[in-house]
Amino acid sequence: MRRRIKMLIAIVIVAALFGLLFGFDQGVISGALPFIKQTFTITPFMEGVVTSAVPLGAVAGTIIAMVTTDRYGRKPMLVLGAVIFLVGSIISALAFNQYFLTLTRLLIGIGIGASAMTAPMFLAEVAPARIRGTIVAAFQLMITIGIMVSYMSNAAFGQSGDWRWMIGVGVFPSVIALIGILMSPETPRWLTLNSNADKARDIITKLQPDASKADVDRIINEIKESAHDEEAKPAWSSFLKKGILPVTSFAMIVFVLQQLSGINAIIYYAPEIFKHAGFSGTTTQLLATVGIGVINVLLTVVAMYLVESIGRRKLLIIGFIGTACSMAIVTGATIIDIPATPYIATFGIFAFIAFFAVSLGPLPWLYMAELFPLRLRPRGMALASVSNWFFNFIVALLFPVLLNEVGIVGTFAIFTACCVFGIFYAIAVAPETKGVTLEELEQRTVGL
């Protein structure tokens, strides 16, 4: 039994590694940008273009995953994502101008978009229901670890200003992820849907060693029953049906609010924000970003416990309240001009990261992996992912322009307002899915 438990842990770590690739690229550009601007001539708008190329490419990657995941499986899409990230990291580090760098980051974005949609699905479909929230939250944990690793890499190479090495470090986790996923099995749910129930049964037995033969048979039968009425490829109009539309809109809007909270403005442009907050010196600014990375990781670990103990709905509401208050502190601190301003603003940013990490970070990924019925899951998760990446792109593209035009006060006031709106939206709409099997959730959705 212990060996089987280790197998589940190993598979979870491998799938979650794709979150590390995602997080690494998010964070590495923040430290590399100041030095890229010294190498190439870049305007504030072009700075936004270089940064936002990854989320724009991720939109395409999400669409590719949507089209191919049901046909070829979850595992092949993760293999493709790892290969693309590996190749993209190498050629990005060798970029000879800002335009080529933008194109290579578009390529990386395709790999990240494909794997970021598929990995939570993979995790949700291999996880036992009682710990599914914790396991899917592992993806978000690895995103934060990837961000922290990138910040540490940035700080290490900050003295020399070698942005090529900062980006090139991404080769190492992509190789590990590629090897790991090649050694992992396909998900039992995909195998069952593709007439391979015997192999699915064997994998469930290995991944859930405490499950009896009757339990395994019940899981297989539930998967078959959940897909029985939807053998044909579901039409896009399915997402407008009475029982599905609320799920679709919630999964998309919660990602939009996640992005409009300001998280990726902080992740992508942390050194620039600390500069505007009053910290001088690139090295000091890079070291301050390491603090963001550490807090992000530690509080995401806490989230893996809280998501199962207090539930999704309460945690989402708490997260929006905390991020709204934190953003208000940052906004207020930048209005007043006193010696303590940099430290008050830093406290607000760190508090924002803490509340985001325990709530707004993992929950949208978990919700999108849980809420959609099995046959609608790839397309439903694609819709949610596209909304995520599109607004990620908008924030990354426009943040330098906003900072230049309306200043840090106006920019962070917008983020504060979005977090306040999120409080009321979560109270009105957010569902609770803690401890409910995917098949039970599907029955609940269909019955709406």
Please give the mean pLDDT across all residues of the chain: 82
Q: What is the pLDDT of residue 107?
A: 94
Q: Residue 25: pLDDT above 50?
A: yes
CA distances from 101 to 35, 62, 170, 228, 304 (A): 13, 21, 15, 47, 36
Find the mean pLDDT for residues 260-282. 71
Q: Cβ(28)–Cβ(154) under 8 Å?
A: yes
Q: What is the CATH number of the domain that holds 60?
A: 1.20.1250.20
Q: Kindly write down the DSSP assignment for every residue of 1-57, as one continuous string.
A: -HHHHHHHHHHHHHHHHHHHHHHHHHHHHHHHHHHHHHHS---HHHHHHHHHHHHHH
pLDDT in tens, 314-323: 999 999 999 9
383 Cβ partners below 8 Å, 6+ apart?
239, 248, 251, 252
pLDDT classification of 447: cutoffs 50, 70, 90: very low
| pLDDT higher at 19 or 207 | 19
pTM confidence score = 0.74
Residue 216: inside a domain: no
Residue 209: inside a domain: no
pLDDT classification of 444: cutoffs 50, 70, 90: low
Residue 41, helix vs strand vs coil: coil
pLDDT classification of 106: cutoffs 50, 70, 90: very high
Residue 167: inside a domain: yes
Residue 198: inside a domain: no
Q: Which domain holds residue 299?
A: 2-184+229-446
pLDDT classification of 102: cutoffs 50, 70, 90: very high
Q: Kindly write down the DSSP assignment for every residue of 49-79, as one continuous string.
A: HHHHHHHHHHHHHHHHHHHHHHHH-HHHHHH
Find the mean pLDDT for residues 371-400. 83
Q: What is the pLDDT of residue 445?
A: 57
Least confident of 79-83, 326-330, 371-375, 385-389: 371-375
| pLDDT higher at 175 or 268 | 175
- What is the total count of domains within the chain? 1
Q: Residue 257: pLDDT above 70?
A: yes
Residue 63: inside a domain: yes
Least confident of 86-100, 171-185, 264-278, 290-304: 264-278
Residue 206: inside a domain: no
Q: Residue 239: pLDDT above 60?
A: yes
Top-ranked range on mean pLDDT: pick from 132-141, 152-161, 313-322: 313-322
- Two tokens, residue 377: 């899951």
Q: What angle do CA 180, 186, 187 make, to 5 degrees?
A: 120
Least confident of 15-29, 148-162, 179-193, 431-445: 431-445
Least confident of 74-78, 83-87, 195-199, 222-226: 222-226
Question: How far is the C-alpha of 146 from the C-alpha of 27, rounded, in Å?
Answer: 8
Q: What is the pLDDT of residue 323?
A: 95
Q: What is the pLDDT of residue 312?
A: 85
pLDDT classification of 331: cutoffs 50, 70, 90: confident
Residue 203: inside a domain: no
Q: What is the pLDDT of residue 8?
A: 67
Q: Residue 71: pLDDT above 90?
A: no
Q: How far apart are the first and last CA of the chain?
A: 40
Find the mean pLDDT for residues 63-71. 84
Residue 319: inside a domain: yes
